[in-house]
Amino acid sequence: MSSSVVSRSGRFSAGPAAEVAAFSESISFDWRLWAQDIRGSIAHATMLQKIGVLTKTELKSIRGGLEEIGREIAAGKFQWKLELEDVHMNIEAELTKRVPAGAKLHTGRSRNDQVAVDVRLWLRDEIEALDGELHGLQRALVDLGAANADVIIPGYTHLQRAQPVFFAHHCLAYVEMLARDIERFEDCWSRVNVCPLGSGAIAGSTLPLDREFVAELLEFTHPRTGKPRVTQNSMDGVSDRDFMVEFAAASALLAVHLSRLSEDLILWVSSEFGFIKIADAYTTGSSLMPQKKNPDVAELTRGKAGRVVGNLMALLTLLKGLPMTYNRDLQEDKERLFDTADTVRACVRLMTGMLANTSVNAGACARAASDPLLLATDLADYLVRKGMPFREAHHVVGSVVGLAEMTGKPLNELSLEDFRGVSDRFGPDVVDMFDLRKAMARRQLTGAPGTKEVKRQLARWTKRLAQV
């Protein structure tokens, strides 16, 4: 069957020029909506039978035909035709060729609400799968932190050593970021989960379609109340792509988080830091330098953030000048959407695998964390406890650091006389300030990198992640 039978009936005397067909086809990428398209069509046909447009026999033959086509597509035996433009027409044309009642399937439906429902079905599943994978990544971060629970590293601001933190605390920072990402995706899901079928091309239908029934069949229901959720304006129903933009935006932020994590790993795996080792399977060599072991997975993850952010920009730009309602421009949404979903899922999966194959070099971490300057702030807090105003304490410790620098002695090797030369508030207990374990125990605030608090946070996340 040629495309003219399905979409160019009557009005057109000839098909589009070959060049136009090649320019306007979307089958090369929207074929992957086939399962959703078939599911949506079966639901629509079931409803058409309920309202008397199809007989039971016709419904049965349509359903059988669609299921058969689905099996052939799944087995890679279906012949996609470029001249049939998109997934919707390919499947419908093939159905009608096999089953005469197929010609009734499109009653009260347009490709405009059809593509909207297909994409929503697809994205709903995609978000659920991504959700699961994000929890897996959180688990990998918690596991890496828990396996190295005693390891302390310098925390950095401006990429300069700042204050000591547990390695696990650093890992848990990303767990928190990912938790917000998951919330954003779940929030987006609730707006994806609305059924646009029945919107028709733009203005619904004069036929008594049962929109709520279709929504129920396709599980477009409220997760708590179970009530069907259908779009409330037919024009909005066919032209709304907000949910895609939301997904792309949540993905862009996720990609940025993964890029930052990648950057940390790239720094840590360098000889300059040497905090971690990534297993060979997750690194690559250099074609020229025999000694090289490069963190390509992390670098590519960092690089791919660029295209995910770009996809968000492409979608926003695509939509900004569109008059109501459906415009063919909207066909450009799918490749950005697919690429976004594929890219973030791959990045999350690979990051999870890489972290599971990463070990911590406790010696290098301990050496870096033993820098007494990391505890300069603790020294100021010490003076505050002795009654000194913080601004003054900050100044005094600054002078002590200056003295250490001048005399070439590490801060913790200055004598009590050296300290007292700067301020008589220093007492013999000042040496305690440089005991790193004690310093970590002193950090007791919620969210601080203290010994007890980090243990508590690890336990909290371990428990939480065991429940999802």
Is 373 among the residues that bind ligand ARG (CB under 6 A)? no
Query: Using CB atoms within 10 A of its CB, is residue 335 exposed (0-12), middle (13-18) or buried (19+)?
Result: middle
**Is 286 a catalytic site residue?**
yes
Per-residue DSSP letter, 201: T
Q: Which stretch binds ligand ARG (CB under 6 A): 50-58, 108-116, 391-399, 428-436?
A: 108-116
Is 331 among the residues that bind ligand ARG (CB under 6 A)? yes
Looking at the Cβ atoms of 77 and 328, the one nearer to ligand ARG is 328
Is 169 among the residues that bind ligand ARG (CB under 6 A)? no
Looking at the Cβ atoms of 326 and 419, the one nearer to ligand ARG is 326
**Is 169 a catalytic site residue?**
no
Q: Which of the following is catalytic: 2, 270, 286, 359?
A: 286
Per-residue DSSP letter, 100: G
Q: Which stretch binds ligand ARG (CB under 6 A): 55-63, 149-157, 276-284, 327-335?
A: 327-335
Which runs of E-coded beta strand occur in 24-78? none
Least distance CB 20 / ligand ARG (angstroms): 13
Question: Residues in the chain, how many?
Answer: 468
Instruction: Rule CB under 6 A: choose which of 37, 58, 86, 264 binds ligand ARG.
Output: 86
Looking at the Cβ atoms of 35 and 300, the one nearer to ligand ARG is 35
Least distance CB 336 / ligand ARG (angstroms): 12
Instruction: Rule CB under 6 A: choose which of 115, 165, 318, 354 binds ligand ARG.
Output: 115
Pattern of binders to ligand ARG over 238-257, x per CB under 6 A?
Answer: --------------------
Closest C-alpha among 303, 300, 308, 309 to residue 350: 300
Q: Six-digit token pair at 424?
A: 């008589």
Closest C-alpha among 5, 4, 1, 27 to residue 15: 4
Is 328 among the residues that bind ligand ARG (CB under 6 A)? yes
At position 157, the amino acid (one-letter code) is T
Dihedral over Cα of 110, 112, 113, 114: its sign: positive
Q: Six-digit token pair at 385?
A: 């406890």
Rg over CA atoms, the chain:
31
Looking at the Cβ atoms of 268 and 338, the one nearer to ligand ARG is 338
Q: Which stretch binds ligand ARG (CB under 6 A): 73-81, 328-336, 401-409, 435-443?
A: 328-336
Per-residue DSSP letter, 121: H
Instruction: Rule CB under 6 A: choose which of 39, 109, 111, 229 binds ligand ARG.
Output: 111
Instruction: Rule CB under 6 A: choose which of 123, 175, 278, 330 binds ligand ARG.
Output: 330
Q: Which of the following is catalytic: 158, 271, 287, 415?
A: 158
Least distance CB 82 / ligand ARG (angstroms): 12
Residues contacting 240, CB < 8 A, separation 6+? 116, 196, 231
Is 61 among the residues that bind ligand ARG (CB under 6 A)? no
Element holding 112 (H helix, E strand): helix 111-147
Burial of 342-371, coded b for 16+ CB within 10 Å and e otherwise, reads: ebbbebbebbbbbbebbebbeebbeebbeb
Least distance CB 6 / ligand ARG (angstroms): 11
How many CA atoms does the CB half-sphere of 78 hold within 13 Å?
25
Residues contacting 401, CB < 8 A, separation 6+? 373, 376, 411
Closest C-alpha among 336, 283, 288, 329 to residue 311: 336
Residues with a catalytic annotation lie at 158, 286
Residues that bind ligand ARG (CB under 6 A): 26, 30, 86, 111-112, 115, 326, 328, 330-331, 334
